[in-house]
Chains A and B, each alone.
Chain A
């Protein structure tokens, strides 16, 4: 008679949507705006949630993806070189995270989206495939390549997968 409320336990959902948005747009106000907008739309259209189609988080990330693609996709990051970071001034952990975040930001749109869904929102390759309407195998291969490109950026690896031009996959 009554459907399960997809937003019954919002806190973990907020964190996962935010992590996705932050990996795509950068940590900060933009990610917060996307997260807020995602939940506003989710509240408005919560009746349309169908549990047979997937978990609430997958439904929310579908909304978040549309929000990002609709209004925030043109946002350019400040992708300045992070070599200037001085390890003596900051904690090593903070530097590592900052460096990693910058490296993710320098990936192209498609790779960033995959990284955001897999490691930000913590979806499985299968869930990502359902969300993006592609085969699971294709997602696994694309993720492997994205990680290779990220390794290349972080390590300056000459043999790593070349970073595609931003937006080339669209």
Chain B
């Protein structure tokens, strides 16, 4: 300590203590800082997930209390129907099987076809037509 006494008479001890404050090695500081920051980051991540979950639950509860959930579901259904209507191809024509016009003007019933005359008579007629002289005007 004699060296100190020789060289530093009238020095400011408090300033020396502050100036001579030991400092950690930069590598040590970097390593420890990274360790602290990594731990904090993972905590913040899980906190964020928890916060988002809690916020969603609160919003759902608030909506449910004023009937918003039913409203939202019917709106979603309407939206789904609209989307389906848009997406479905339009060239499919739906034919109505029954209509008032069809009820009023029904198809006529098919007439019963008379039974064919006897073969002999018809054959006779044809023969007679052929024997007639041709029409000349």
Q: Mark B23-66, 1 if CB is under 8 A from A, else 0.
A: 11100110011011101100000010000000000000000000
In the complex, the answer to whether A156 meets B24 with C-beta atoms within 8 Å is no
Question: A14 touching B29 by the CB < 8 A rule?
Answer: yes
Minimum CB–CB distance from A154 to chain B (whole Å) comes to 5
| B5 and A2 form a contact (CB under 8 A) | no
Question: Chain B nearest CB: distance from A88 CB in Å?
Answer: 12
For residue B9, which residues in chain A have a CB less than 8 angstroms away from its CB?
A: 155
A-B contact number at CB 8 A: 100
B14 touches A22 (CB 8 A): no
Instruction: Tell me, yes or no, whether B135 is within 8 Å of chain A by CB.
Output: no
- Provide the residues of chain A in CB contact with B33, threshold 8 Å: 10-11, 14
Q: Is B105 part of the binding interface, using a Cβ–Cβ cutoff of 8 Å?
A: no
Tell me which of A82, A95, A156 contacts B5 (CB under 8 A): A156
Task: Please tell me which one of the listed residues A7, A104, A155 contacts residue B4 in the complex, with CB atoms under 8 A apart.
Answer: A155
What string of 1s and 0s marks CB contacts (under 8 Å) between A91-134 and chain B?
Answer: 01001110111011000000000010001101000000000000
Tell whether A14 pairs with B24 under 8 Å between CB atoms, given A96-B16, A119-B17, A153-B1. yes
Q: Please give, as numbers and ranges, the residues of chain A lying within 8 Å of B112 by CB-CB distance.
A: none
- Determine if B3 and A19 form an interchain contact, defined as CB atoms under 8 angstroms apart: no
B22 interfacial by beta-carbon distance below 8 Å: yes
Q: Is the CB of A22 within 8 A of B37?
A: no
Q: Please tell me if the beta carbons of A119 and B21 are within 8 angstroms of each other in the complex.
A: yes
Contact A96 B32 (CB under 8 A): no
A7 contacts across to B, CB distance below 8 A: 36, 40
B125 at the interface (CB under 8 A from A): no
Interface: A138 (CB within 8 A): no
Q: How many residues of B contact A (CB 8 A)?
A: 29
A101 with B22, Cβ < 8 A, contacts A96-B4, A147-B13, A147-B14 known: yes
Q: Which of A23, A85, A101 makes the CB contact (< 8 A) with B3?
A: A85
Q: A2 to chain B: which residues have CB within 8 Å? A: 47
Whether the pair A154, B1 counts as a contact (CB closer than 8 A) is: yes
**Counting CB contacts under 8 A, is A168 at the interface?**
no
B98 adjacent to chain A (CB < 8 Å): no
Partner of B17, one of A8, A95, A99, A100: A100
Knowing A7-B40, A115-B17 touch, does A27 contact B1 (C-beta < 8 A)? no
Choose one: B4, B8, B13, B36; the contact of A10 (CB below 8 Å): B36
In the complex, what residues of A have CB within 8 A of residue B13's CB?
147, 150-151, 154
**Shortest distance in angstroms between B85's beta carbon and chain A's nearest beta carbon?**
46
- Residues of B at the A interface (CB closer than 8 Å) are 1-5, 7-9, 13-14, 16-18, 20-25, 28-29, 32-33, 35-37, 39-40, 47
